[in-house]
């Protein structure tokens, strides 16, 4: 309970304090990639030893994104080169029984973990803190609503092969309740600064629910393939960083793009 409260508090503080956002980005990126590497080792023999390359590539993503418009072009060029080398060299040079699959895992780590965290903590929070705080509230609430709805009324399995506990009833109830919460947020003065109309809040909630569920199922697929229950043990009682952020990963970019369009 305490560890979960600390996690929530830090995520909320990141919305209001830039140094917290950057500290969290660094910590969560490193820890998530460490957990991802450990899962990858269980799925693909020879994936071991690539953490340093994954981290090297991860460091380049915020550089490329933050300075693409106004930064020094030589810095962007150097970061892009390092990013490419960090991802491709391990699969070409390391002894791996399945090099193409190792390359695919490496590329996926940047798209699934690093890119959303970069967008969330270095781009979206500075420009739209109200929308990000609403995003956090809705995505945490959607997990709770879907779990309670599925526990009470769930009969039809949503993706039994990947996550036997999830049901269509839980998804429907979670979506309806999350949309209702979004409507309520529309009337809170602080969240009015997000610049969304009532119908946009509802669409925003549906985006959070749908893509959050897909992110949750994606991580469950990885864990099932690796034969593990939790991605790590860094958060007592809550598993690893991937377990806490799985819904956020895939929901961040669609939600951020939508909020910028409003």
**CA atoms of 68 and 14, how far apart (whole Å):** 24
Per-residue confidence (pLDDT) for residue 177, from 0 to 100: 94
Low-confidence ranges of the chain (pLDDT < 50): none
Q: Under DSSP, is residue 214 helix (H, G, I), strand (E, B) or coil?
A: helix
Per-residue confidence (pLDDT) for residue 224, from 0 to 100: 85
Per-residue confidence (pLDDT) for residue 248, from 0 to 100: 94
The enclosing H or E element of 167 equals strand 163-167
Q: Which residues are within 8 A (CB) of 187 and not within 5 positions of it... i.e. 6 or more apart?
A: none
Closest CA to 58 of 126, 132, 116: 116
- Rounded to 5 degrees, what are φ and ψ at 239? 85, -140
102-156 per-position pLDDT tens digit: 778 888 888 898 889 989 998 899 889 999 999 999 999 998 888 888 888 878 7
Per-residue confidence (pLDDT) for residue 61, from 0 to 100: 74
Per-residue confidence (pLDDT) for residue 66, from 0 to 100: 64
CB 251 within 8 A of CB 197: no
**CA atoms of 169 and 147, how far apart (whole Å):** 10
**CA atoms of 7 and 13, how far apart (whole Å):** 10
pTM to 2 decimals? 0.88
The enclosing H or E element of 143 equals helix 129-153
Closest CA to 200 of 186, 214, 181, 184: 186
Per-residue confidence (pLDDT) for residue 37, from 0 to 100: 85
**CA atoms of 62 and 83, how far apart (whole Å):** 11
Within a 10 A sphere around the Cβ of 101, how many other Cβ atoms? 17
Where helices occur in 94-197 by DSSP H, the ranges are 99-109, 115-118, 125-127, 129-153, 168-185, 189-192
Per-residue confidence (pLDDT) for residue 214, from 0 to 100: 92
Closest CA to 82 of 102, 60, 106, 105: 60
Closest CA to 153 of 138, 174, 137: 174
Per-residue confidence (pLDDT) for residue 26, from 0 to 100: 87
Per-residue confidence (pLDDT) for residue 256, from 0 to 100: 94
């Amino acid at each position: 309970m305490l560890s979960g409260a600390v996690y929530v508090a830090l995520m909320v503080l990141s919305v209001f304090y830039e140094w917290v956002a950057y500290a969290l980005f660094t910590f969560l990126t490193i820890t998530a990639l460490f957990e991802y590497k450990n899962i990858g080792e269980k799925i693909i023999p020879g994936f071991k030893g690539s953490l340093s390359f994954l981290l090297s590539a991860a460091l380049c993503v915020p550089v490329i994104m933050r300075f693409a418009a106004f930064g020094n072009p030589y810095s962007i060029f150097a970061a892009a080169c390092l990013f490419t080398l960090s991802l491709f060299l391990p699969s070409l040079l390391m002894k791996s029984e399945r090099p193409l699959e190792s390359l695919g895992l490496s590329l996926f780590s940047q798209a699934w973990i690093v890119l959303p965290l970069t967008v969330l903590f270095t781009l979206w929070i500075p420009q739209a803190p109200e929308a990000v705080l609403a995003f956090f509230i809705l995505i945490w609430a959607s997990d709770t609503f879907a779990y309670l709805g599925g526990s009470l009324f769930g009969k039809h399995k949503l993706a039994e092969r990947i996550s036997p506990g999830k049901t269509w009833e839980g998804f429907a109830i979670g979506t309806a309740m999350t949309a209702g919460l979004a409507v309520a947020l529309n009337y809170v003065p602080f969240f009015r600064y997000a610049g969304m109309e009532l119908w946009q809040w509802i669409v925003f909630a549906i985006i959070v629910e749908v893509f959050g569920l897909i992110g949750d199922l994606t991580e469950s697929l990885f864990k099932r393939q690796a034969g593990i229950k939790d991605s790590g043990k860094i958060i007592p009682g809550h598993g690893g960083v991937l377990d806490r952020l799985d819904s956020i990963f895939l929901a961040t970019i669609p939600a951020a793009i939508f909020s910028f369009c409003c």
